[in-house]
Amino acid sequence: MNQHGFDLPPKATLDVMDRRKELAEKACDALIQAGLPAFLEASQGVPGAKVQVESLADGGVLVEWSTQESFATAAADLLENGVDPTNLPQAIRHYETVQTCMRDAVLQILASAGFHVDRADAHTYGRAVHVKGGCP
């Protein structure tokens, strides 16, 4: 327990974090070689593949596709105003399609490059790709 009276999830060791950072760099390089814009960690407002290292002990390397901010905001604004889930507006359907297609593309590109990848836990990480290792 910490000073506030609740348990925090355990963090990865420095050695594990170093290996994850190396894996993240290699995954980012593989995406760039394939012609996709890819960035390590924080690159706010820039569309492309965001490659990040999760510091939790059960975390890892995650890749999430980011669109132009205006594209994501338009879909979010529609959702915020309330929509019929059985008849989503075209803008939301299009956004969802782009996110799904790009996640699948990133997954397949990294797998083809020799990485062990899978869809990340959707509840925790949305449409991210989990890079588990196996870099070339």
Given a cut of 90, whether residue 88 has pLDDT beyond it is no
Whether the CB-CB separation of 23 and 66 falls below 8 Å is answered with no
Given a cut of 80, whether residue 83 has pLDDT beyond it is no
Whether the CB-CB separation of 31 and 49 falls below 8 Å is answered with yes
Record the tokens describing residue 7, joined without a space. 């348990």
Kindly report, residue by residue over 23-39, the tens digit of the pLDDT.
999 999 999 999 999 99
CA of 129: how far to CAs of 46, 65, 102, in Å? 18, 9, 10
pTM of this structure: 0.84
Predicted pLDDT at 4? 57
Kindly report, residue by residue over 42-66, the tens digit of the pLDDT.
667 789 999 999 887 777 899 999 9
Split at pLDDT 50, 70, 90, the class of 78 is confident
